[in-house]
Structure 1
Amino acid sequence: MSIHREEVVSVLSRYQNGTLLKVIWDNGEKAIYEFETMYDSTNGLEMDDPNYREFHLALFKEYKNPNNFIEVGSGENIPIYIEVLDANEVIWDIQNKC
């Protein structure tokens, strides 16, 4: 699943902060999110540890509950479908490999 993490974050990097997204998660949950920002993180290990990893993350803010944020690209938070609402454009669809 790590390849999907890298791919989805790469796709999201093309969009501006504030972009409204319809997101469907692998558990079937659907929600509207605002693309908040992107940033780099690590797995918390020391840089000289052979298992040290850096990765990129995207942060979404839930549109209906702006106090809820979710990181995309970490752990299992990998959407199966993302649509840019203003453009009616599907930018991520694991089933159809967008």
Structure 2
Amino acid sequence: MPLPGERAIRKLGNDISWARGRRHISQASLAERMGASLSTVRRMEKGDVKVPIHFLARALHGFGVIRALEHLLDTPNDEIGLTLMDKHLPKRVRSKSGGSSGAL
């Protein structure tokens, strides 16, 4: 895994730990709510990259912030993807024979 990816997952794990603590939820209680083992919660909070994403999603859902996951790569706001797609647009658009101007 690239280093920036590891850092991001470590930060997410740390943030989950803080969120759990602020809500006064034990690791065992979070594990039960998530349908996970206590060791999975511990690994997740340490930023273990091998924790399946569905456990991260369950934790975010439990904290009421699952919408953040939904918007990580929101395609209408993907500036890089949209820019790359725009580069492949034709420079000129020719009308087909038949006289349609293409006006809406």
Instruction: Verify same fold: TM over 0.5.
Output: no
TM-score by length of 1: 0.36
Whose RCO is larger (CA < 8 A, sep 6+)?
1
Structure having the larger proportion of residues in strand = 1
Structure having the larger proportion of residues in helix = 2
Query: Larger radius of gyration, structure 1 or 2?
Result: 2
TM-score by length of 2: 0.34
